[in-house]
């Protein structure tokens, strides 16, 4: 059967009352819990589990705070490392950790999340980059070795030039050096060495010719 006139009138009056009193009734439905207060929550006539609750009982936080914090940490680390070379990354780990700590604290504070500690324990590079860096380091070592060898030859040449200048000023020194070299050769190998002597040295051993 269709509703009567009274039912329709009551329904219309109820709707009008609800609409008119809604702005006022909202203020009585909301309750602000102070930091020193606790309250119980009823939902659909049932007491929520967990007993009394304090401030922050309304779930407004990010439901995936751990994942968001981890993603933010990865992005922050990537941005910081992008401004440094490998040497700076290896030598400035503490500075990188402090920079990340301050950046994450500023970003996660509105979430109610606190990152206690950040530490860069190890730096691992891709295999391709490791091979490229190894090749670059090897080329740098080879170039440095060639430079050192060239500098050594240059210094040796200067020393030989100085020695030759000194020996050229004294013929006796040349002869002594000659004898020293022969002594060294004879000590290394058991062999007979024949070498010429200057005529002026042999003249003392040759008999004088009679006129």
How confident is the model at residue 45, as a pLDDT? 57
Least confident of 14-18, 148-152, 203-207: 203-207
Predicted pLDDT at 195: 59
Instruction: Report pTM.
Output: 0.37
Amino acid 148: pLDDT: 92
- Other Cβ atoms within 10 Å of 195 Cβ, number: 9
Least reliable range by pLDDT among 7-16, 58-67, 99-108:
58-67
Beta strands in the chain (DSSP E): 42-43, 46-47
pLDDT at 147: 92
Confidence grade of residue 90 (pLDDT, cut at 50, 70, 90): confident
Q: From CA 201, how far away is CA 153, in angstroms rounded?
A: 37
Q: How many CB atoms lie within 10 A of CB 89?
A: 15
Give the N- to C-terminal CA distance of the chain in Å, as an integer.
Answer: 176
pLDDT tens-digit series, residues 188-204:
666 666 656 665 655 55
pLDDT tens for each residue of 43-65: 665 666 666 666 554 555 456 77
User: Cα separations (Å) of 6 from 3, 17, 139, 141, 184?
Assistant: 8, 16, 99, 102, 137
């Amino acid at each position: 059967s269709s509703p009567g006139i009274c039912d329709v009138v009551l329904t219309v009056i109820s709707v009008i009352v609800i609409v008119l009193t809604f702005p006022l009734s909202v203020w009585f439905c909301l309750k602000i819990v102070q930091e020193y207060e606790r309250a119980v929550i009823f939902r659909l006539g049932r007491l929520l589990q967990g007993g009394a609750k304090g401030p922050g009982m309304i779930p407004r936080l990010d439901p995936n705070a751990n994942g968001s914090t981890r993603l933010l940490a990865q992005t922050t680390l990537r941005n910081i490392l992008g401004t440094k070379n490998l040497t700076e990354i290896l030598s400035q780990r503490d500075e990188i950790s402090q920079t990340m700590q301050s950046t994450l604290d500023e970003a996660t504070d509105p979430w109610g999340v606190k990152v206690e500690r950040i530490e860069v324990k190890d730096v691992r590079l891709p295999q391709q980059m490791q091979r490229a860096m190894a090749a670059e380091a090897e080329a740098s070592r080879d170039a440095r070795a060639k430079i050192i060898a060239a500098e050594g030859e240059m210094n040796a040449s200067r020393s030989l030039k100085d020695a030759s200048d000194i020996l050229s000023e004294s013929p006796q020194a040349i002869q002594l050096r000659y004898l020293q070299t022969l002594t060294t050769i004879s000590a290394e190998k058991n062999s007979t060495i024949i070498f010429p002597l200057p005529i002026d040295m042999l003249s003392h051993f040759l008999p004088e010719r009679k006129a």
